Chain A
Amino acid sequence: MTTTARPAPPDEQADPAPLEVRRTPARKRLVPYWLLLPGILWLLVFFAAPLVYQASTSIQTGSLEEGFKVTWHFATYWDALGEYWPQFVRSVGFAAVATVLCLLLGYPLAYLIAFKAGRWRNVVMILVIAPFFTSFLIRTLAWKTILADGGPVVGALNSLHILDLTSALGITEGHRVLATPLAVVCGLTYNFLPFMILPLYTSLERIDPRLHEAAGDLYARPATTFRRVTFPLSMPGVVAGTLLTFIPAAGDYINAELLGSTDQKMIGNVIQSQFLRVLDYPTAAALSFILMAAILAMVTIYIRKSGTEDLV
Chain B
Amino acid sequence: MAATGTTATPSTTAARTPNKGLRWLRRNIITIAGLATLAYLVLPNVIVMVFSFNKPNGRFNYQWQRFSTDAWTDPCGVADLCGSLGLSLQIAVWATVGATVLGTMIAFALARYRFRARAGVNTLIFLPMAMPEVVMAASLATLFLNMGIQFGFWTILIAHIMFCLSFVVTAVKARVMSMDPRLEQAAQDLYASPVQTFLRVTLPIAAPGIASGALLSFALSFDDFIITNFNAGSTVTFPMFVWGSAQRGTPVQINVIGTAMFLVAVLCVVVGQLAGKRRKRS
Contacts and interface: CB of A to CB of B under 8 A. Distances in A.
B106 A36 contact: yes
B128 A47 contact: yes
B47 A251 contact: no
Contacts of B130: 243, 247, 295-296, 299
A32 B115 contact: yes
Nearest to B39: A127
13 contacts: A8-B114, A15-B114, A32-B114, A43-B128, A50-B140, A53-B139, A54-B138, A131-B42, A137-B225, A139-B45, A142-B43, A291-B135, A292-B135
Main secondary structure on chain A at its contact with chain B? helix
A304 to B, nearest CB: 14
A137 B125 CA distance: 27
Contacts of A140: 44
A49 interface: yes
Contacts, number: 254
A268 B137 CA distance: 11
Contacts of B121: 1, 36, 40
A126 B37 CA distance: 14
Nearest to B30: A108
A131 B48 CA distance: 11
A57 B121 CA distance: 26
B30 A135 contact: no
A220 interface: no
A238 B270 CA distance: 29
Nearest to B54: A145
Given A42-B162, A126-B266, A190-B44, A137 B136 contact: no
B134 A42 contact: no
B10 interface: no
B248 interface: no
Interface string A1-28: 1101110100010010100000000000
Contacts of B45: 130-131, 134, 139, 142
A136 interface: yes
Nearest to B27: A222
Contact of A138 (B109, B133, B139, B255): B255
